[in-house]
Amino acid sequence: MANGQYDSSRGALIVLEGLDRCGKTSQSSRLVSFLKGKGFSVESWRFPDRSTCVGEMISSYLSNKSQLDDRTIHLLFSANRWEKRALMETKLRSGTTLVVDRYSYSGVAFSAAKGLDIEWCKAPETGLLAPDLVVYLDITPEKAAERGGYGNERYEQLEFQRKVAHHYRVLHDETWKIVDACLPMEDVEKQLRELALECATTCQKGKPLSHLWL
Ligand code: DGP
């Protein structure tokens, strides 16, 4: 209750973060199926969203087909989240829970790993919707690299992922839920289910929306 009035029921913004190959993508689709089974309206989202014009530029950069200055690509990743912000809010307010594979934390951790100042990296994310739950799927860069090998994308290199892991540690706060991504898949899934169910239920009761880094 805020100012004597109940906030409206809404969907939850649930974000999964972690190094490349930590298992986010499989866990996110399993979680979406689980929440649907529990009767929630839920969608699976991911950033970067490569389907937009900005997303195509990002995709071309990630696959090394184009070169961009580090700050330029940082701002494009951020713009890719901003262009989905209004839709995100509409979905949440209409009661749809979003399970999002990567968000602003990837934006900061990956760019800071290139040596950009962390506060500079956070600035363009300010004002985006704040997640109701951030789950970090924790894996060492070495273990992640052993998992079926990296593809050919720009950041899929052990040394770079070590720097990303360091910046995730700098960035995380006490609200993040850390799940050991090396546990058997079913155990990771079980922990995610419990966290997500509690979060979605709280938002359904009318938790107010908030904004990043204000
Ligand atoms: P994915 O589609 O989750 O595999 O992400 C593609 C790659 O882009 C992956 O190496 C992580 C990286 N990435 C995701 N979001 C951002 C971002 O906002 N900024 C930067 N610099 N890299 C990102």
> Model confidence over 20-74: pLDDT tens digits?
999 999 999 999 999 999 999 999 999 999 999 999 999 999 999 999 999 999 9
User: Is residue 97 within 6 Å of ligand 1 at its C-beta?
Assistant: no
User: Is residue 105 within 6 Å of ligand 1 at its C-beta?
Assistant: no
What is the model's pLDDT at position 149?
75
Give the distance (Å) from ligand 1 centre to CA of residue 152: 13
Taking the alpha carbons at both ends of the chain, their separation in whole angstroms is: 22
Give the distance (Å) from ligand 1 centre to CA of residue 2: 37
The domains found in the chain, sorted by start residue, are 13-204 (3.40.50.300)
User: Is residue 107 within 6 Å of ligand 1 at its C-beta?
Assistant: yes
User: Is residue 189 within 6 Å of ligand 1 at its C-beta?
Assistant: no
What is the model's pLDDT at position 152?
82
What is the model's pLDDT at position 6?
55
Selected residue with higher pLDDT from 112 and 2:
112
pLDDT digits (tens, 9 = 90+) for 165-190: 999 999 999 999 999 999 999 999 99
In ligand 1, which atom is closest to the CA atom of 107?
A: 18
Of residues 185, 91, 93, 104, the one with CA closest to residue 147 = 185
Of residues 53, 60, 32, the one with CA closest to residue 153 = 60
Tokens (6 digits) for 84: 């989905």
Residue nearest to atom 16 of ligand 1 (CA): 107
Give the distance (Å) from ligand 1 centre to CA of residue 47: 7
User: Is residue 61 within 6 Å of ligand 1 at its C-beta?
Assistant: no
CA distance linking residue 166 with residue 47, whole number of Å: 21
Supply the mean pLDDT for the chain.
95
| pLDDT(139) > 90 | yes
| pLDDT(124) > 80 | yes
Phi, psi of 17 (to 5 degrees): -125, 165
Give the distance (Å) from ligand 1 centre to CA of residue 74: 10
Q: What b-and-e string marks burial along 20-51, b requiring 16 or more CB atoms within 10 Å of the CB? A: bbbbbeebbebbbebbeeeebebeebebbbee
User: Is residue 102 within 6 Å of ligand 1 at its C-beta?
Assistant: yes
Site to substitute for ligand 1 among 26, 118, 155, most atoms within 8 A of C-beta: 155
Of residues 135, 106, 128, the one with CA closest to residue 28 = 135
Phi, psi of 211 (to 5 degrees): -125, 155
Residues paired with 14 in a beta bridge: 99, 133
pTM for the full predicted model: 0.96
| pLDDT(136) > 90 | yes
Residue nearest to atom 17 of ligand 1 (CA): 107
Give the distance (Å) from ligand 1 centre to CA of residue 125: 15
